[in-house]
Amino acid sequence: MKMLQCASVLVTKHRCCHALLPQGDRNSNFFTLQIEENFMLDQIIGLIAAALTTLGIINQAVKVFYTGQTSGLSLSMYALTTVGVMLWLIYGVRKRDIPLIVANIVTLAASAYILFSILQFW
């Protein structure tokens, strides 16, 4: 049975990942590649999620802009959504996560527009 030691595998701008490596395998790139692949998959999933949620809010904002009608929209839902997106933006800035920052800037603008439109027509 080989003795396992904790060794630093990958250090990125965002995080430091550790893995248990057998003593004889310290030069192995398997763990590094696996972590890099998982990191890229996480980034792709995050970008797709950000794009879909942003497009959902933008579609509603466009409808409000062209129709001027907000009677069917919930004031509390858009107030909570706007505050939540603002907090996600702050979180993204603190983490220096560009996709999170960009998506939440766009979403915040659209959500705030809808919220202010609801308040204006209320």
Strands (E), 1-122: 4-11, 16-22
If one counts every other C-beta atom within 10 angstroms of the C-beta of residue 68, the result is 10
DSSP H helical segments within 12-97, as ranges?
A: 30-67, 75-95
CATH 1.20.1290.10 fits 4-121, yes or no: no
Name the band, by pLDDT with cuts 50, 70 and 90, for residue 38.
confident
What pTM was computed for the model?
Answer: 0.67
Query: Which residue bears the tokens 């004031």?
Result: 75
Q: What digits encode the pLDDT tens for the residues 60-110?
A: 999 999 999 999 999 999 999 999 999 999 999 999 988 889 999 999 999
Please give the Cα distance from 86 to 103 (Å, whole number): 11
